[in-house]
Amino acid sequence: MKKWLSLIMMSMLVIGMLAACGTSDDSANGAEGEKTEDKKVLKMGTSADYPPFEYIDTAKSDEIIGFDVDLAKAIAKELGYEVEVQDIDFNGLIPAIQAGKVDFVLAGMTPTEERKQNVDFSDVYYEAKHMIVTPKDSGIKTLEDLKGKTVGVQVGSIQEGKAEEIKEQVDIKIENRNRIPELVQEMKSGRFDAAIIEDTVAKGFFEQDKEMTGFVIEDENQEEAGSAIAFPKGSELTKDFNRVLNEMKENGEVDKLIVKWFGGEQ
């Protein structure tokens, strides 16, 4: 009797194991199906220290958000892609493109002639101006007031070149840092007297810190600092992104993003 009972229990155990294995295989196949589903993913490089273009709201999550991120996702969706965002120091973005680590860069980057030698650019999607940012009690109200002062700029930025232009007219000492918040902190600690930051970004810092102020650099001979999307040389994405970008300009989608992130149209 015990022998028969043992055989029955063993049979049931084997059947149960086979059923479990079958379930496990089905589940695994389902997960693998999701992984291998034909989803085209583009890697976007950015420098997440540039609100409202790209930044991390640490109080809410570690996700990179901002105007550039929304713009990239909207264009990519229209082209049938998903976007994976990578945070890279600004001066490392073009090398990342050249090394094939990212498919494109959206980071408030100005398409200068020097940069065009290494990457291709889309049409300009946003324009802004340079601003001298200072502590409110600095007494700096004009470019001439910068004489003998230390001015901070972000490494590899268009503002770095602007500082060199100013230095030809006014005796200043130029210091650079990797991230915009570092420039603000250096001013607050007294190591920098001023910094050159894009006006839209600077206004975001003014809202957070009432002790900071600034003025736009007025230069009739200097074009506004426009932002464009950077791609590897010869990339077919340049043409595709340009097409959708210009459609979004025409149908008002870019303006909607400007209102969302900057609080109003330019």
Residues 123 and 134 in one domain: no
pTM of the model: 0.67
Domain holding 112, by residue range, is 40-127+226-262
Q: How many other β-carbons are positioned within 10 Å of the β-carbon of residue 156?
A: 20
Q: Total domain count for the chain?
A: 2
Q: What is the pLDDT of residues 219-255, one digit of tens each?
A: 654 555 689 999 999 999 999 999 999 999 999 999 8
Residues 99 and 73 in one domain: yes
C-beta separation of 212 from 206 below 8 A = yes
Angle (CA) 155-83-236 rounded to 5° is: 85
> Considering 216, 239, 254, which residue would you say is the last residue of a domain?
216
**What is residue 7's DSSP assignment?**
H
What CATH number does residue 97 fall under?
Answer: 3.40.190.10
Q: DSSP E strands: which ranges in 125-171? A: 126-128, 130-135, 150-154
22, part of any domain: no
Residues 89 and 57 in one domain: yes
Residues 134 and 187 in one domain: yes
Residues 122 and 68 in one domain: yes
Cα separation, 20 vs 29, whole angstroms = 14
15, part of any domain: no
C-beta separation of 84 from 41 below 8 A = yes
Residues 80 and 64 in one domain: yes
Q: What is the pLDDT of residues 146-179, one digit of tens each?
A: 999 999 999 988 899 899 999 999 999 999 999 8
Residues 89 and 162 in one domain: no
